[in-house]
Each structure stands twice: as structure tokens, then as C-alpha cells.
């Protein structure tokens, strides 16, 4: 009772002798051992001994104790229990900012050694704890931040990609070029004061969530020519319309282009947000009214004309890859849709659905069905279906379709007519 009183006193925790610690460390009650492990005055050798405790609850407390020696931390960093490693990760990240100055140099090195183990943990949740804790740190080791930024899991990579001040423009460009974790590219697009070269790289991916995040990022610096490209791409992607309208750096020319394809309610927002002159407002609204009044007749007539052109070429036996490529280059979508319908035997409605799916595999299967080259299939994925570069299906041996006929039939079965 006397020993327990020393350890668990109500007013404050007191230091205990090595002999008393040894007695408590071998107590049958795990709660007693856990309270010993929580004692800030516990001897380093006792805490080290408790890293091998059979109770994960005890080991968790050892992991939380800031006085646990680094050798014990390294053992706990490889503990079989996920919660033990998670608690250790929280502690190590909490301690890191205070480990500065010459006197703390050795301790910092030892702490970083543990941090490296945790940043490479097999469980994404543990790595995510490290990433979240270090995302705005200036004291974190650069190589650990880079490792987290290149992680294959979004929950690990995204925090540092969005916030870490240690990631340079060159780092971000290299990460984008080498491949970002699925779903993490928008995190880069949301970074404050994003440089023009990085915004160019994000825009070039054609990944819709990332482009939407980039457009919504008011501090991102976007070149005019890059914005022009985004406007062209956004025309057929409705989810990009509002982020585009809400950009603060739109020129009058850009506004006129945008007004030509967004909904009238978004044009009203465009006018209101930019405090445009009555003359410009009238011109934009006139453009919208003309678009609404003429769109149905004009679009229908143009659509029918393109479809008839494809049908005539088909009847004459002259509908081929060359004529299709010309239509792709001119963005004559109705011709492309009808041509693929005729060449593949799949209804035009299903062809449209496939191309809107942004699924590289099924678009490739459609081109295979239409007896097009794999080179054409890649062009169709990029320029018509706007498939994300990470989802792009490339050729086998430079020219061959990478899937078997059975696999491609299976892909098309999800869109085939009933």
C-alpha cells in the first residue's frame, strides 16, 4: 500500500525507487503496470522492460510516456498492435518541435530514427497520423515529408501535399510527374499561392476534381494561356462551370467565352461578381439569350449534318480511321459518335455513354470493336473522353491492344444494348 501510495498519490506523482518499480512492473494486475508506465518519473530501464509487456494497454501507455527511451520507442514502432504504434506516432510528432538546439541534437536524431519507422509503417492509419501531425511543420525532416507526399494512400499523402511548407515547387512538379496517390492531386491544387508551373502541371492532368480545386483556389497563379485551355476543356464538363465562373482573374474575353456555354444563372453570377459595366453585362446577357434561342435549332441542324456525313461515308465505304481522326481534331463530336456507332455496331446512345464515362478501359474496348488502331484509341481517350492520365490505357509493345478480345467484350457488356 505504501508503494502504491507513492506511485498513485492524489496530489502529485512522486519518484519511486528502482526496487519499488521492479515490484510494480511484475504485478499481476495490468492496471498497476499501466500506471507505472504512465509515471513520468519511471526509470528508463523500467519503461524499456514494459515494452515487452503482454498487455497492449500497458504498451500503449509506455508509448505515450514522453520519458520512454528511444531504444524502447524503436521497439514500440514495430509493435504488433496498431494502437500502440498510433499512440507512439502521436507522441513522437508532438515532441519533435521541442527538439532543437545543440543540446537536443542527439535526442533529435534518435527521435527521427523512430519517426522514420512510423512514416514507413505498414498501416496507412499510422502513416496518416504522422502526415497530419507534420503537415505544417518546419522542423520535420525533409526526407520524411517527401516520403509521405509520395505515399500511395490518399489519407497519407494529401495532408503534406496541401500544407507542407517544406515542399518546393520542384518537389511538387516531380511528384506530379512521377504519379500522385489516387485522389491526392486536388490537395496540391488547393495549396496557397500555387506557382504557375505547378498549376500548369495540375491542369495538364485533365483530372476533373483537381482542375475544379485549382479553379476554386483564389491564390493559385494561373497563366492566361492555361486558363484558356481550361475554358476549352470545361465546356463539356458541367462540374467545372461554377468554379470557372468564380475565378477572380478572368479577362473580359474569357468571360465572353464562358458565357457561351454555362447556364444563364452562372452568367448572372459572373456579372455580379465582377461588377461589370452595363455595356459588357448587356453583351454577355445578349450572348446567353442568343444561345438559348438558337441553340436547339442550330445544334440539332449541325448534329444531323455531322451524323449524315458519317452515314454517307459509311455507305460509300469511306468511313475510316483517317476521316474519324479529322473529326476528332475538329471536335465534331456528333460525327465521332455516329462514326463509332456505325463502325462498332453499338448504338449511338451507348457510344455517348461510354465516352462520357471517362473510363480508359471501356473507351479502348469501343475503339477495338470499331477496328481502330491502338494509337487512335489513345487519342480518343485523351481528346474525346478526357480520361485522366493515371487511368489512361496505353499500348502493349507500342502498338498492340493490351487486353484480350474476351476482356474487351466484357468491358463493353456493361454498356451493350439489351
Beta strands in 158-300 (DSSP E): none
* 16 pLDDT tier (thresholds 50, 70, 90): confident
- Residue 33 three-state SS: helix
Of 207, 149, 157, the closest CA to residue 389 belongs to 207
Over the stretch 72-97, which tens digit does the pLDDT of each residue have? Answer: 999 999 999 999 999 999 988 888 77
Q: State the pLDDT at residue 237.
A: 83
d(CA 407, CA 384): 22
Phi, psi of 400 (to 5 degrees): -90, 150
Interhelix angle 360-369/405-413, nearest 10 degrees: 110
d(CA 340, CA 356): 14
Specify the residue for cell string 500511395: 152
Over the stretch 90-119, which tens digit does the pLDDT of each residue have? Answer: 988 888 776 555 545 566 788 888 889 999
**pLDDT over 50 (residue 319):** yes
Q: State the pLDDT at residue 14.
A: 61
pLDDT > 70: percent of the chain: 86
Lowest mean pLDDT among 44-58, 233-247, 270-284, 332-346: 270-284
**pLDDT over 70 (residue 280):** no
pLDDT > 90: percent of the chain: 41
* 3 pLDDT tier (thresholds 50, 70, 90): very low
Specify the residue for cell string 512514416: 119
Q: How many CA atoms lie within 13 A of 203 on its CB side?
A: 27
Which comes out higher in pLDDT, residue 142 or 287? 142
Over the stretch 108-152, which tens digit does the pLDDT of each residue have? Answer: 788 888 889 999 999 999 999 999 989 998 888 899 999 999 999
Lowest mean pLDDT among 256-260, 338-342, 389-393: 256-260
Q: How many residues does the chain have?
A: 418
d(CA 39, CA 45): 13
Q: Over the chain, what is the mean pLDDT?
A: 84
**pLDDT over 70 (residue 299):** no
Q: State the pLDDT at residue 10.
A: 41
**pLDDT over 80 (residue 222):** yes
41-53 mean pLDDT: 89
Amino acid at each position: 500500500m505504501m508503494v502504491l501510495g507513492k506511485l498513485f498519490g492524489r496530489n502529485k506523482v512522486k519518484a519511486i525507487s528502482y526496487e519499488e518499480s521492479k515490484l510494480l512492473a511484475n504485478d499481476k494486475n495490468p492496471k498497476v503496470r499501466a500506471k507505472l508506465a504512465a509515471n513520468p518519473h519511471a526509470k528508463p530501464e523500467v519503461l524499456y522492460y514494459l515494452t515487452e509487456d503482454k498487455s497492449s494497454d500497458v504498451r500503449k501507455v509506455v508509448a505515450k510516456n514522453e520519458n520512454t527511451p528511444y531504444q524502447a520507442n524503436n521497439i514500440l514502432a514495430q509493435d504488433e498492435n496498431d494502437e500502440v504504434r498510433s499512440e507512439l506516432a502521436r507522441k513522437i510528432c508532438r515532441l519533435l518541435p521541442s527538439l532543437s538546439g545543440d543540446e537536443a541534437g542527439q535526442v533529435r536524431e534518435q527521435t527521427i530514427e523512430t519517426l522514420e519507422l512510423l512514416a514507413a509503417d505498414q498501416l496507412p492509419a499510422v502513416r496518416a497520423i504522422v502526415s497530419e501531425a507534420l503537415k505544417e511543420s518546419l522542423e520535420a525532416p525533409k526526407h520524411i515529408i517527401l516520403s509521405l507526399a509520395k505515399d500511395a494512400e490518399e489519407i497519407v499523402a494529401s495532408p503534406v501535399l496541401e500544407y507542407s511548407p517544406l515542399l518546393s515547387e520542384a518537389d511538387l512538379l516531380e511528384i506530379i510527374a512521377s504519379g500522385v496517390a489516387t485522389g491526392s492531386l486536388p490537395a496540391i491544387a488547393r495549396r496557397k499561392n500555387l506557382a504557375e508551373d505547378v498549376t500548369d502541371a495540375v491542369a495538364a492532368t485533365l483530372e476533373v476534381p483537381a482542375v475544379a480545386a485549382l479553379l476554386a483556389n483564389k491564390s493559385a497563379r494561373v497563366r492566361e494561356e492555361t486558363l484558356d485551355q481550361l475554358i476549352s476543356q470545361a465546356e463539356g464538363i458541367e462540374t467545372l462551370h461554377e468554379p470557372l465562373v468564380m475565378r477572380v482573374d478572368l479577362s473580359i474575353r474569357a468571360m465572353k467565352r464562358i458565357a457561351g456555354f454555362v447556364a444563364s444563372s452562372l452568367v448572372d453570377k459572373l456579372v455580379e461578381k465582377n461588377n461589370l459595366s452595363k455595356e459588357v453585362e448587356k453583351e454577355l446577357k445578349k450572348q446567353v439569350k442568343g444561345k438559348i434561342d438558337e441553340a436547339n435549332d442550330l445544334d440539332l441542324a449541325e448534329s444531323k449534318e455531322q451524323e449524315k456525313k458519317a452515314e454517307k461515308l459509311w455507305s460509300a465505304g469511306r468511313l475510316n480511321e483517317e476521316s474519324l481522326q479529322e473529326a476528332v481534331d475538329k471536335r465534331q463530336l456528333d460525327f465521332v459518335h455516329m462514326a463509332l456507332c456505325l463502325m462498332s455496331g453499338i448504338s449511338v446512345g451507348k457510344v455517348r455513354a461510354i465516352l462520357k464515362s471517362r473510363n480508359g478501359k471501356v473507351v479502348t474496348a469501343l475503339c477495338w470493336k470499331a477496328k481502330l488502331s491502338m494509337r487512335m484509341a489513345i487519342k480518343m481517350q485523351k481528346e474525346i473522353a478526357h480520361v485522366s492520365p493515371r487511368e489512361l490505357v496505353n499500348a502493349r509493345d507500342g502498338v498492340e491492344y493490351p487486353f484480350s478480345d474476351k476482356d474487351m467484350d466484357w468491358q463493353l457488356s456493361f454498356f451493350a444494348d439489351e
